[in-house]
Amino acid sequence: MLKHRLKILASMLIAVILVEGYTYFSQNPTVISIQSENIKGLLSNWKFNPGSLTKLFTLQFSDDNNLAQINSGSTGMNGINNGPPPVYATPTKAIKPTLPAVVLTKAGPTPDDGLVDFPFEPGDTNNLPGGGVPTNAPKPTKAPKPTKTPTPPPIKTDLRPGTSLKEIFQEVSRRECFPAALLMAFKTEETGERFKNDSATTIKIYNTYGWWTTGTGDPCYGFGYHTQTGIVPQDSVSAGTSCNSATGDPNDIAIMGITQISQQEEDSAKKYSSSIVSGDIDRRVLFDNALIFSIISKSRVGDPPSTCNDWPDDAIRTAAEKHLGSSCTYVYDDGSTTNYCGDILKLYKQYKKEGL
């Protein structure tokens, strides 16, 4: 009975050893070479009886008494003293192979791959070259707000800015946000070509406040006379001089200057001009005349366009009609007529196309 049980136990033990051995060595192939050396050392120190090996594999074991005698070193079945039981060499512990350390390094971008080098995080495959969007993508910076153009300081000198009529209108446009091309259109319609091609010296005379009192300029040339009467006013050194024949209009509203501004229009604009010209203004000064015209025209339109150099047709027609003071039909002294609003619009587009 004992012999039968030992056979079963040995069979199970051998099966377990084989299965576990196969599993271990299949998972750790590098250990096989090391274990083979250990087995060689074990077998070289293992003294055994060939007959015992035969019995082991044939599962033939001695009875209980013989087994006891063998373990105690007594005489066996053949009367031979087997001596003390063999001493088996203790197998050396398998040395686990040292695997080379694997260091995962992130390859930096090449000049042509267009990748951004983000810090590598363990397990974050999106940050590897060729991966997807980085986990912690940098936030885009806010677009800088455009710097507001600083407001020019008020003019404190009698000499106004600009050495040509074009420069004067552009300076007024920059300060009052009114199209320079529209200023040139009204000037051309009202007083023709005068001052357009004059020298800087001449422009300086008529662009200085008080020229009509110093005698440096000619009131007849500088439109320093009342248009409806043709007479130079009393505050001029040439007071009473006739520069032109009367227009036949009995109501003199003291119209003067390159865009033909009345006294009432000048007075209305003064309370709005102090941020541009710190002192007095006068419609006989080239710069001041354009400034007054810009202020009152924007007021007449009611809701002027926000753009300083690009007005729509309807706003221009409104400004022209308000300045004329009647419908867009203008009647000349000889009885001929013209479409005043249409003329202004046409001239505005012409000067705008020329880059004014």
Mind listing the pLDDT tens digit for each residue in 230-253?
999 999 999 999 999 988 888 899
pLDDT average, residue stretch 51-55: 51
pLDDT average, residue stretch 197-210: 98
pLDDT computed for residue 90 by the predictor:
47
Ranges 4-13, 53-62, 98-107, 213-222, most confident: 213-222
pLDDT average, residue stretch 168-196: 97
pLDDT computed for residue 105 by the predictor:
46
Query: What is the C-alpha separation between 328 and 326, in angstroms, rounded?
Result: 6
In this prediction, residue 10 has a pLDDT band, given cuts at 50, 70 and 90, of: confident
pLDDT average, residue stretch 19-23: 72
Taking only the tens place, the pLDDT of each residue in 280-304 is 999 999 999 999 999 999 999 988 9
Whose CA is closest to 259, among 192, 309, 203? 192
| Residue 338: its H or E element | strand 337-339
pLDDT computed for residue 88 by the predictor:
45
- In the chain, % of residues over pLDDT 70: 65
Whose CA is closest to 180, among 268, 309, 49, 2? 309
Question: Where in the chain are all domains bearing CATH 1.10.530?
Answer: 165-353
pLDDT computed for residue 37 by the predictor:
61
pLDDT average, residue stretch 121-130: 50
pLDDT average, residue stretch 49-53: 51
Helix (H, G, I), strand (E, B) or coil at 25: helix
In b/e form, how buried is each residue of 215-229, taking b as 16+ CB within 10 angstroms? Answer: eebbbeebbbbbbbb
pLDDT computed for residue 34 by the predictor:
59
Q: Does 102 have pLDDT greater than 90?
A: no
pLDDT computed for residue 16 by the predictor:
76
Q: Does 132 have pLDDT greater than 60?
A: no
Q: Does 21 have pLDDT greater than 50?
A: yes
Q: What angle do CA 244, 246, 251 make, to 5 degrees?
A: 135
Whole-number average pLDDT of the chain: 79
Q: Give the chain's radius of gyration (CA, Å).
A: 57
Query: What is the C-alpha separation between 39 and 32, in angstroms, rounded?
Result: 10
Q: Does 192 have pLDDT greater than 80?
A: yes
In this prediction, residue 208 has a pLDDT band, given cuts at 50, 70 and 90, of: very high
**CATH 3.40.720 at 165-353, yes or no:** no
Of the listed ranges 15-19, 218-222, 328-332, the one predicted with least confidence: 15-19
pTM summary value: 0.60
Residue 240 φ then ψ, to 5°: 90, -10
Whose CA is closest to 24, among 35, 14, 13? 35
In this prediction, residue 29 has a pLDDT band, given cuts at 50, 70 and 90, of: low
Query: What is the C-alpha separation between 356 and 353, in angstroms, rounded?
Result: 7
| Higher local confidence (pLDDT), 25 or 312 | 312
In this prediction, residue 51 has a pLDDT band, given cuts at 50, 70 and 90, of: low
Q: Indicate the burial class of 133 (C-beta count within 10 angstroms; 0-12, 13-18, 19 or more).
A: exposed
